[in-house]
Amino acid sequence: MNRITQKLKFLADRKEKALVCFITAGFPTLKATIPLVKEIEKGGADIIELGMPFSDPLADGPVIQASSQLAIKNGITLDHVLDYVREIRKHSDIPIVLMGYLNPILHYGKERFFTDAVKSGVDGIILPEVPLEESDRFLSLTRKYHLADILLVSPATPSKRIQNIDKVSSGFLYCVSTTGVTGRSNIGDIESYVKRVKRSAKNNSVLVGFGIKTPADAYRIAQYADGVIIGSALIQRIARRDSTQKIADWVRRMKEAL
């Protein structure tokens, strides 16, 4: 069983909710990523989502855009990202998901990338600009290499389509909290939406992301979902150079709120 599925099952058995923490690889420096992952894991993260920076991140708001831009300036490449994963794997079994845009992967070579990712210890992949209709050409590869292919649903997705997306998605279903890009404030009333997704998604756990900023947000959403994903709020803390200790404490508070 894939590390992600295993972890989510373990949590579900204990009636716990999952906390996924996103950080941009190579931000704020190339050397910062591995210590950050260690601290975030210590803080209580269940799954690590590593962002592979791209020059034109369509689905991201200003915070993650800026972090990607700086990481690219630092010289980050997919080779670095895979090196980070190999390094993390030396001392940890935490599930690792890569999030990124298509072009750097196509440039690296699709098949070569998936092979190298699995060898490095990656468990799943999130491609926010690859909707169901375009996912075929990746599904055959991710299945071949036993990588979880985590697809997204949004409030604009009709229920029938959620069912279809759930059928091909694996690992978990990424439930985008609102229409919009990452890091927006004020998630509205999402109870009925998340419940609708839960009803339609029979195969996967439903984890909610985009705009979750506080332990109170996390608590509220965890009432209906199987877990939450935090990104921009975490990046903001890293950007203002909070100590790793402080960041770990904040992650702990998020986890405790669930």
Partner 1 sequence: MKSQKYSYNYPNKLGYFGNYGGRFVPETLMHALFELEEIYREAKRDSGFKKEFVAMLHTYAGRPTPLTFANRLSEHYGHGKIYLKREDLCHTGAHKINNTIGQILLAKRAGKKRIIAETGAGQHGVATATVAAKMGLPCVVYMGEEDIHRQELNVHRMKMLGAEVVPVTTGSRTLKDATSEAIRDWVTNVDNTFYIIGSVVGPHPYPMMVRDFQSVIGEETQKQIRVSENKYPSILLACVGGGSNAMGMFYPFIRQNIRMIGVEAAGCGLNTNKHAATLSKGRPGVLHGAFSYLLQDRNGQVELAHSISAGLDYPGVGPEHSALKDLGRVQYVSITDKQALEAAKLISRLEGIIPALESAHALAYLNMLIPRTSKKDIIVVNLSGRGDKDMMTYSTAFSVREKKK
**What residues form DSSP beta bridges with 229?**
20, 209
> Would you count residue 27 as binding partner 1 (CB under 8 A)?
no
Q: Report in angstroms the alpha-carbon separations of 120 from 51, 114, 147, 223.
A: 16, 10, 12, 35
Q: Which is nearer to partner 1, 69 or 163 (CB)?
A: 69
Catalytic residue among 41, 60, 123, 217: 60
Least distance CB 229 / partner 1 (angstroms): 15
Which residue in the set 8, 64, 85, 181 belongs to the binding site for partner 1 (CB under 8 A)?
181
If binding is defined by CB under 8 A, does position 159 make contact with partner 1?
Answer: no
* CB hemisphere CA count around 22 (13 angstroms): 31
Considering beta carbons, is residue 58 or 216 the nearer one to partner 1?
58
Q: How many CB atoms lie within 10 A of CB 83?
A: 16
Residues of span 72-91 touching partner 1 by CB under 8 A: 72, 77-78
The region of 87-95, 99-107, 117-125, 211-219 touching partner 1 under the rule CB under 8 A is 99-107
Of 173, 176, 242, the residue nearest 8 (C-alpha): 173
Q: What residues between 107 and 146 interact with partner 1 by CB under 8 A?
A: 107-108, 128-134
Residues 53, 67: Cα–Cα separation, whole Å: 8
- Catalytic residue list contains 49: yes
In the residue annotation, 93 being an active-site residue is answered as no
Stretch that binds partner 1, among 16-24, 152-160, 212-220, 239-247 (CB under 8 A): 152-160
Report in angstroms how near the CB of residue 10 gets to partner 1 at its nearest.
28
Token pair recorded at residue 62: 């200003």
| Interface pick for partner 1 out of 6, 31, 58, 246 (rule CB under 8 A) | 58
Q: Does 61 bind partner 1 (CB under 8 A)?
A: yes
What burial letters (b/e) apply to 214-249, b meaning 16+ CB within 10 Å? ebebbebbbebbbbbbbbbbbbbebbeeeebeebbe
The Cα–Cα gap between 127 and 20 comes to: 16
Q: 161: part of which helix (H) or strand (E)?
A: helix 159-168
* Binding footprint of partner 1 on the chain (CB under 8 A): 54-56, 58-59, 61-62, 65, 69, 72, 77-78, 101-108, 128-134, 151-158, 161, 165, 176, 179-181, 184
